[in-house]
Structure 1
Amino acid sequence: MENKEFMNNDITRFKLTGSNIAKFLIPSLIGVILFLCPIPSEGAFTTPIGILSEWLAGLTKAFAPTFITSVIIISAVFSTIAKLFSPRWIMKNSLLNKLFVTSNFYLLFRIIGAVLSFMVLNELGGEIIYSIDTGGTMMSLVSTLVAWFFAASFLIPLLMDYGAMDFTGTLLRGFVQPLFKLPGRSAIDLVASWIGNCNVGVVLTSFQYENGYYTGREAAVIATCFSAVSLPFCLVIAAMLGLDVVFPQFYLTLMVAGVLSVVVMARVWPLSKFPDEYYEAVGKQINEEEPEGMKKSEWALRLAVQKADSADSFGDTVYRGFEMFMGIIFSLTPLVMAWGTLALIVATYTPVFDWVSMPFGYYLQLLGLPEAFEAAPATIVGFADMFIPAILLTGITSMKTKFVVGVLSLVQIIYMTEVGTIMLTSKIPVKFKDLVIIFLEKTIIALPIIVLMANLFGIS
């Protein structure tokens, strides 16, 4: 209590000037525009960070597979050296230690990722490894991911470090907290996770947790429940399924089902079981409660301005972005390549998902959907990758079934080829079994909501 009062008094006495308000406003507005402002592009809507990332992906397309394969092989080789020999030049260097010292479990998959990426690049091992249904898709996906993360790693501080989240959080606490049991500052994170790139949203959430602004429970709820695909991808999925003629209903259903499912899931196991504890290494760094006698808007502005005033220098910010990007390409890309390729092989060449999805066939049938058992695999295969459900649904003739399961695949987002892997390699306290349970729970909760919306819209 004394610490909070001291902090409040310190901020209350903080002098507001034109220059320090500008230091909050200018970078924050640039960050909001880059990450959250929808703009038209090629007949659809995206964000400036999306345009920048797609431009980078196109610019690097020719050499990206070779670069990615080299990075994954270096990651596997250096991690093996660190594990076997613990050389001083790795162990005593903070950056190299962070990049290459890992557990036996993750080392195994870094090695598998290196082998698979080399085989895909050189088309070795047959089509089961390198076809467009398996490794070929993952190589293309990782190439796009690297471009996204390169842009985001250096630009995310515009949202995090200059007061945007502090200002918004204080103003919106009364809405976000009772609805989702989350701090107000999560509002920007929720929007970034919803209308921007879902991977960037998870990275932003992870960094907020590691910097003491979310508890473990809050970070887990945001990362697992508010990761959503971008609007352009929703349009692509709707078009693939022949649902572009009802896209407004499709997207509105996605939003309603997404929000309502979070309201429920934030209050039930397993998400409710996560500890409301801040990251131990930094402790609690958040203070959204305004002192008595001060308007909420003034308190929000004071918090934001003080945050901007204490921001790192430009050089330090760039170095943090470099560290973030290095961590992503050396730690994350091998796992995305390994887990994604293996998951797609299982989904494409084995009947495992057909067997596991049998209970959902009965569930879809109970909800009155035609072709229930034919569509059932698409209800769970999204755990592996977000593209596969739409591919499986193209053979379904019922528009209502395609509408319901198509929306579901975009609400479920915890796919292991990207988002799931990012969460597991972050400091957010979620385990693989948690992701499985949350995915199934979200599916069970969201399906009746989507069916109800489809009925209200007269989709048949």
Structure 2
Amino acid sequence: MEPEHALTAPARSGAGIKLLLTSLLGIAIFFVPFELAGRSTILVDHLAGFLMAQRPLALGLILLLIAYGAISPLLDGRWRARPIDRVLSLFKLLGLGLAIMYVAGWGPAWLMTPDRLPFLFDKLAMSVGLIVPIGAMALTFLLGFGLLELIGVLMQPVMRPLWRTPGHSAIDAVASFVGSYSVGLLITNRVFLAGKYTVREAVIIATGFSTVSAAFMIIVAKTLNLMGHWNFYFWSTLVITFVITAILARIPPISTMAHQGETDEPLPAGMSRWQAALASGLTQSSQADPVLRQLQDNLKDGLYMAAAVVPTILSVGLLGLLLAQHTPLFDLLGWLLWPLTWLLDLGEPLETARALSAGLAEMFLPAILLKDADLLVRYVTAVVSVSSVLFFSASIPCILATKIPVNLGQLVVIWLLRTLLGILLAALCGRLALTMGWLN
């Protein structure tokens, strides 16, 4: 990093103003809830909600994204690159067919039940397809003008010892947890391609912090009748998720992934951490591309990722739902979780284990299946649905659409480990909360 005094006084002042204003704008867009039309949420979500309310326009945009995502791999030959690309290309074409069927109303009755294609299209595909491009443009103010570098230097002493990631991953982690996993993965992919994450660091971030958004957490809490305990649920889930991530960063398969040395830079001689952080931020701010160019580049990246992911959300998500509802696959997975649910006395242990295992297909399934369980089981279900991070209807295709070299088998193993640890920690936390009166 360059020292602050490498900039002239006027350049330093200009860079400082730019850093301050863009940082405040980025923080306001992503992290500060605003109430508009009786709805309190962050601005990115407000913008996506506004577009969703213009349903004909939103449907047209989503269909264009899905069509591009499904057809472009066939035109440019990307479908031949790897076996997983061939499989995903087939699923993307299937997703295009499902989207056309849904919009045209041609689907059979079994496909059009509210918990199948309508749920996948309206609740997942529409949200991801609109939030990712909007969020990508808004990321310009968090990533492009020095805030990432400034916080990176400040957080280096915390992120590296706890989660084995660079200091600048702090913004990535917070944006991933509080905002959308798809936006978080967009950050992770961009930073990885810029050479600021090793493979191991990128996988830790992608599989450890890229949870569903806080808005989805509200839906889970409502379904499981936990809104009366919202603050306890939200903050305990955040802590449990981050604890699990710290543990998994130290065991296989993540601990064995490629890691070409530490990517954090040492502090310049004679500088305090704050001075070094400010110098790094000012240097980036002074060298940043014009805002319009960054907005254009980030929008392009966001549209590309949305087009790659939305078709597979429909097809892979539908397959997962059908497997959960009509085959014993998730019953078999449930047996892997059963010893722990039995040991922790979580309701009907096998039923709880089966329902939690269905979260691999779609994170919302366990909440649907266990909405009438006792309070402890409902709390554990709500936490594990978020802290397990990975599921086939959205986050797994999102990760596979990035350039991070992690395969499907590794993601399933990581899901299993996160789910087991989530059950254990959530059950212990829930019992403590019941004893202390925090969850009554």
Q: Tell whether the structures are fold-level matches, with TM greater than 0.5.
A: yes
Quick check: 2:136–2:186 contact (8 Å CA) kept in 1? no
The one-letter code matched in structure 2 to 1:54 is: G
Match of 1:340 among 295, 305, 317: 317
Alignment of 1:203-218 (within 5 A): 203-218=186-201
Q: Which residue of 1 aligns with 2:275?
A: 298
Quick check: 2:140–2:294 contact (8 Å CA) kept in 1? yes
Residue 172 of structure 2 corresponds to residue 189 of structure 1? yes
Q: Which residue of 2 aligns with 1:383?
A: 360
Quick check: 2:2–2:283 contact (8 Å CA) kept in 1? no
Distance 2:315 2:385 in 1: 22
Q: Which residue of 1 aligns with 2:93?
A: 111
Residue 361 of structure 2 corresponds to residue 366 of structure 1? no
Q: Secondary structure at the match of 2:105?
A: coil
Q: Which residue of 1 aligns with 2:411?
A: 435
The one-letter code matched in structure 1 to 2:218 is: L
Bigger shift: residues 368-377 or 346-355: 346-355
The one-letter code matched in structure 1 to 2:117 is: G
Describe the shift of the 1:404–1:43 C-alpha distance in structure 2 as closer, same or farther (beyond 3 A). farther
Quick check: 2:379–2:430 contact (8 Å CA) kept in 1? yes
Quick check: 2:248–2:254 contact (8 Å CA) kept in 1? yes
Quick check: 1:386–1:409 contact (8 Å CA) kept in 2? yes
Q: Which residue of 2 aligns with 1:50?
A: 45
Q: Shift in Å at residue 37 of structure 1?
A: 2.4
Distance 2:239 2:53 in 1: 34
Distance 1:198 1:33 in 2: 19
Q: Secondary structure at the match of 1:133?
A: coil
Alignment of 1:25-424 (within 5 A): 25-39=20-34, 46-59=41-54, 61-83=55-77, 103-140=85-122, 141-277=124-260, 288-396=265-373, 398-424=374-400
Q: Secondary structure at the match of 1:62?
A: helix
Q: Shift in Å at residue 66 of structure 1?
A: 4.5
Q: Shift in Å at residue 291 of structure 1?
A: 1.0
Q: Shift in Å at residue 233 of structure 1?
A: 2.7
Deviations 1:191-239 (CA, angstroms, capped at 9, x unpaired): 1111112221111111111111111111110110112233333233222
Quick check: 1:235–1:244 contact (8 Å CA) kept in 2? yes
Describe the shift of the 1:106–1:229 C-alpha distance in structure 2 as closer, same or farther (beyond 3 A). closer
Quick check: 1:99–1:327 contact (8 Å CA) kept in 2? no
Quick check: 1:72–1:330 contact (8 Å CA) kept in 2? yes
Q: Secondary structure at the match of 2:8?
A: coil
Bigger shift: residues 255-264 or 347-356: 347-356
Bigger shift: residues 139-148 or 348-357: 348-357
Q: Shift in Å at residue 75 of structure 1?
A: 4.0
Bigger shift: residues 150-159 or 245-254: 245-254
Describe the shift of the 1:20–1:270 C-alpha distance in structure 2 as closer, same or farther (beyond 3 A). same
Describe the shift of the 1:317–1:404 C-alpha distance in structure 2 as closer, same or farther (beyond 3 A). same
Instruction: Structure 1: state its 5+ residue gaps.
Output: 1-6, 84-97, 279-283
Distance 2:37 2:432 in 1: 31
Describe the shift of the 1:44–1:232 C-alpha distance in structure 2 as closer, same or farther (beyond 3 A). farther
Distance 2:306 2:174 in 1: 25
Instruction: Structure 2: state its 5+ residue gaps.
Output: none
Quick check: 1:227–1:413 contact (8 Å CA) kept in 2? yes
Runs of 4+ aligned residues of structure 1 deviating over 6 Å after TM superposition are 41-44, 98-102
Quick check: 1:99–1:326 contact (8 Å CA) kept in 2? no
Describe the shift of the 1:443–1:376 C-alpha distance in structure 2 as closer, same or farther (beyond 3 A). same
Match of 2:16 among 15, 21, 28: 21
Bigger shift: residues 211-220 or 350-359: 350-359
Deviations 1:257-289 (CA, angstroms, capped at 9, x unpaired): 1121112111111111111149xxxxx9x6542
Quick check: 1:168–1:300 contact (8 Å CA) kept in 2? yes
Quick check: 1:45–1:232 contact (8 Å CA) kept in 2? no
Distance 1:100 1:336 in 2: 21
Distance 1:78 1:263 in 2: 38
Q: Shift in Å at residue 375 of structure 1?
A: 1.6
Q: Which residue of 2 aligns with 1:449?
A: 425
Describe the shift of the 1:267–1:39 C-alpha distance in structure 2 as closer, same or farther (beyond 3 A). farther
Q: What's the Cα RMSD here?
A: 2.5
The one-letter code matched in structure 2 to 1:105 is: V
The TM-score normalised by the length of structure 2 is 0.90
